[in-house]
Amino acid sequence: MKYAMSLDGKLNGQPNQRTMLTGTQAFQSSQQLRYSQQAILIGEHTLMIDDPELTVRTVTPDYPPIKIILVNQADSLSLSEKIFQSATPVWLLTRKKSTRQWPEFVQVFQSAEWTPHQIMKLLGEKGIQSLMVEGGSRVQAAFAAANLIDQIWLYLAPLVLGGGGLPAVLGLANSTIQQFHLTQVQRLGKDLLITARRN
């Protein structure tokens, strides 16, 4: 799991808006993390608010990470979204059946409910061994509650955003406290990268 947050634990300053938290060095570091992964996952809310590319922009990988989007209805998405602007693999995990004609680089998988365990089962069947969850807070909460987080990369920005924004994890509660240990604390310009692994 990778995310950036403020000192008071927020992903953004206000609901339904993107807030740039970290600087250039943190961006470069995050691109290297993407380069090392087979797949990246975000939820529909993150797609709508951030309109991310989910690409590796600092180098050209031989095998770009698969961009996986968890959505309610795939057919409601616009092909003008940035994730569709490069012909790198996109997987849409939709709850409602898709009847749309998609570009060749897009695959659609339908299930009435995409739980973290169902997502990991699909990835295992497709030979995907590494997944980085990049948001949003409810998707992160679901993976935490499912006890499926092995490593966390936290980019900490020296900002205080106040009570209007989303916390880093929001939603399902963990049944137990999960123990991690710090493996690295690295200064990246004004920001910190804190890396932790599951015990």
Q: How confident is the model at residue 59 (pLDDT cuts 50, 70, 90)?
A: confident
pLDDT at residue 14 in the model: 87
Superfamily for domain range 2-198: Dihydrofolate Reductase, subunit A (3.40.430.10)
Cis peptide preceding 136, ω within 30 of 0: yes
Give tens-digit pLDDT for 149-161.
999 999 999 999 9
Residue extents of the structural domains in the chain = 2-198
Q: What does the H/E/C string look like for 59-111?
A: CCCCCCCEEEEEEEEHHHCCCCCHHHCCCCCEEEEEEECCCCCCCCCEEEEEC
* pLDDT exceeds 90 at position 90: yes
Question: HSE on the CB side for 171, CA within 13 Å?
Answer: 15
Amino acid 117: pLDDT: 97
172 has a pLDDT exceeding 90:
no
Is 90 exceeded by the pLDDT of residue 78?
yes
- Of the candidates 155, 179, 163, 183, the residue with the CA atom closest to the CA atom of residue 28: 155
Nearest to 22 by CA among 196, 197, 186: 186
Q: Is the pLDDT score of 80 beyond 90?
A: yes
How high is the pLDDT of residue 131? 98
Model confidence at 15, pLDDT cuts 50, 70, 90, reads confident
Q: Measured on CA atoms in the order 108, 130, 4, 54, is the torsion positive or negative?
A: negative
